[in-house]
Amino acid sequence: QVQLVESGGGLVQAGGSLRVSCAASGMPFSRYAMGWFRQAPGKEREFVARIRLIGGSTYYADSVKDRFTISRDSAKNTVYLQKNSLKPEDTAVYYCAASDNWKATNPPSYDYWGQGTQVTASS
């Protein structure tokens, strides 16, 4: 049974940094791409970043490029999202997800999802 568990969310002042983690179990970690999405109240879930677990190639939404960094630790089956220079508009529930399509950026292409972790950047 595939399980994705996020951790590391919290409250931070605008301009600050935060790292969230996603621990994966029950799946062949290296076969998948892992993505981070976020959903703010009243808004649709949006793509943030993804990483191909073989090779480590990454791709980011324009809104977070140069501020967020996605990485993985294959030995720990864990993916991270380092968020710097946080803005109030980054406030959302952040979800990690797994897809066997390493180019995927839309939520329906992702087969497995975590429960989400709240990140709040206060102004």
Q: How much is the pLDDT for 27?
A: 81
User: Residue 109, Cβ neighbours under 10 Å: how many?
Assistant: 16
Q: Which of 51, 35, 41, 55 is nearest to 107 (CA)?
A: 35
State what percent of residues in the chain have pLDDT above 70.
100
Q: How much is the pLDDT for 63?
A: 96
pLDDT tens-digit series, residues 50-96: 999 888 899 999 999 999 999 999 899 999 999 999 999 999 999 99
Q: Which of 6, 9, 2, 4 is nearest to 90 (CA)?
A: 9
- What single-letter DSSP state applies at residue 28? -
Q: How much is the pLDDT for 60?
A: 98
Q: How much is the pLDDT for 96?
A: 97
Q: How much is the pLDDT for 66?
A: 95
Cα separation, 105 vs 112, in Å, equals: 14
Sign of the Cα torsion 4, 116, 40, 43 reads: positive
Cα separation, 72 vs 86, in Å, equals: 21
User: Residue 56, Cβ neighbours under 10 Å: how many?
Assistant: 11
57, 88 Cβ separation under 8 angstroms: no
